[in-house]
Amino acid sequence: QGIGSPSVYHAVIVIFLEFFAWGLLTAPTLVVLHETFPKHTFLMNGLIQGVKGLLSFLSAPLIGALSDVWGRKSFLLLTVFFTCAPIPLMKISPWWYFAVISVSGVFAVTFSVVFAYVADITQEHERSMAYGLVSATFAASLVTSPAIGAYLGRAYGDSLVVVLATAIALLDICFILVAVPESLPEKMRPASWGAPISWEQADPFASLKKVGQDSIVLLICITVFLSYLPEAGQYSSFFLYLRQIMGFSSESVAAFIAVLGILSIVAQTVVLSLLMRSIGNKNTILLGLGFQILQLAWYGFGSEPWMMWAAGAVAAMSSITFPAVSALVSRTADADQQGVVQGMITGIRGLCNGLGPALYGFIFYIFHVELNELPMPESSSGANVVAQYHLQQNSIIPGPPFLFGACSVLLALLVALFIPEHTNLTVRSSNWKKHCGSHGHPHSPQAPGEAKEPLLQDTNV
């Protein structure tokens, strides 16, 4: 039954422990990735993360819909367990480690379930702050964990880091089992676990077709796709880029993540709350997209380490976009459909998690941004740094994928301009209830015009 009543803090602790465990492995993963794939490291990294993201896209609506029927707690347990399953394999077999990471994408949708959990227990006016807190917790989990992992790996070896990360992942699983209460009200759940769901709820492409039938939701989803595509690619390769191309040591990468994490926490809690109250939801999204364009352009043209640090400060402000979008989307759904709606957005992000890393890896490959040797594990020697910068001087744009990302976010900003300033949307649940009422007849004929019924009422566009 869990400890106490459901609260945002339960969700926050689950997110923190999961990503703290993965944060410890930041430095060891970069080393293992290069040792396993010494040639075309960026390309292979993109393909691995791409497969994981595509599987996440395919599974997110199904898991979101199932959590609406069977409850959030069991799916929190499922997603955390399988997302952390690859951790012990890093020292056992690197090939199996990367293979299981790819396959674990089927369950790598913890954020989808967590946001639905938060939506269950918060009022509409509280959600933007709650989503900001969850996103800030993700950043907070990465403030110290990469630095701790790099220090322990240097002092005691990477095996200890893997053991510690595995222990924290197990602690997270035990916390969900013992302490996390179910957030979905009992009246919304069926009497048994045998309650079926329709294929339309589980099919990610069907949900995308339904999104396309409503103009406001379509604008929101296109904005999410165009803005998160470069962010997903950047997140998958940026630390490797800092290490191999910009000459950062393991300690410098860990410090960069820590500073970025602290600034992101401030941005997603204090700054986000002030902006939502003062300039509104839509303008907050536009401001976040503007910062993201500036950040990606700076990464793309930056050829000195100080430029990376300066752009990182701008990146923290761009982190307000997703919680602001999640708050906007949560207002469009009824209480019993939060999992489906958040699963829809998480599915689009999952699609970006597949396409973004693969696209970045391919662009790196086309522009021959590659090194055949890993930088020295000690603080980078002068000769090594000179060699790395000499490699970059052959190109006017040191980071071509980041410049492509800036163009993509610019398109997202133009699309977001058309999202109505004030929306009072309610989900049309008749379609949903008809599906729920005809679970035993998934192929029963639909009423005329039912398939074309918009998901959301549209009053302003």
Q: How many residues does the chain have?
A: 461
Helix axes 158-178, 8-24, angle to 10 degrees: 160
Give me the sign of the Cα torsion angle 42, 43, 46, 52.
Answer: negative
Report domain 8-184+205-371+398-418's class. Answer: mainly alpha
Q: What are the residue boundaries of the structural domains of the chain, listed by start? A: 8-184+205-371+398-418
SS3 427: strand
Nearest CA to 237 among 377, 363, 93? 363
Nearest CA to 402 among 445, 433, 363? 363
Nearest CA to 61 among 238, 234, 199? 199
Give me the sign of the Cα torsion angle 347, 348, 352, 355.
Answer: positive
pTM, two decimal places: 0.68
Contact 332, 425 (CB under 8 A): yes
Residue 193 carries which side chain, given as an amino acid letter?
W
Residue-level pLDDT, tens digit, the chain, 461 residues: 667 777 888 889 999 999 899 888 887 887 888 788 877 777 887 888 888 878 877 887 788 778 877 778 888 888 899 888 889 888 888 888 888 888 888 888 887 788 888 888 888 777 777 877 887 788 788 778 888 888 888 888 888 999 999 999 999 999 998 888 877 765 555 544 455 666 666 666 765 666 666 677 778 888 888 888 888 888 777 777 777 777 777 778 888 888 888 888 888 878 888 888 888 778 888 888 999 898 888 888 877 777 788 887 888 888 888 878 877 777 665 665 555 666 567 667 777 877 888 888 788 778 766 554 444 444 344 434 434 444 444 455 667 788 888 899 999 999 888 877 655 444 443 343 434 433 333 333 333 333 333 333 333 33
What is the structure's pLDDT at 33? 81
Distances (CA, A) of 50 to 54, 57, 196: 6, 11, 31
- Gap between the Cα atoms of 237 and 356, Å rounded: 10
| Long-range contacts of residues 377-385, Cβ cutoff 8 Å, at least 24 apart | 377/154, 377/249, 377/250, 378/249, 379/249, 379/251, 380/247, 380/248, 380/249, 384/247, 385/247
- Gap between the Cα atoms of 150 and 26, Å rounded: 8
What is the structure's pLDDT at 217? 72
What is the structure's pLDDT at 165? 93
What is the structure's pLDDT at 169? 93
What is the structure's pLDDT at 343? 59
What is the structure's pLDDT at 65? 78
Helix axes 215-244, 204-211, angle to 10 degrees: 120
Residue 363 carries which side chain, given as an amino acid letter?
I
Q: 296 is written with which tokens? A: 């990606």
Distances (CA, A) of 210 to 42, 116, 439: 36, 20, 19
What is the structure's pLDDT at 9? 86
What is the structure's pLDDT at 411? 93
- Gap between the Cα atoms of 249 and 422, Å rounded: 48
What is the structure's pLDDT at 2? 63
DSSP string, 286-328: HHHHHHHHHHHHHHHH--SHHHHHHHHHHHHHHTTHHHHHHHH
What is the structure's pLDDT at 164? 94
Distances (CA, A) of 224 to 27, 319, 343: 30, 13, 13
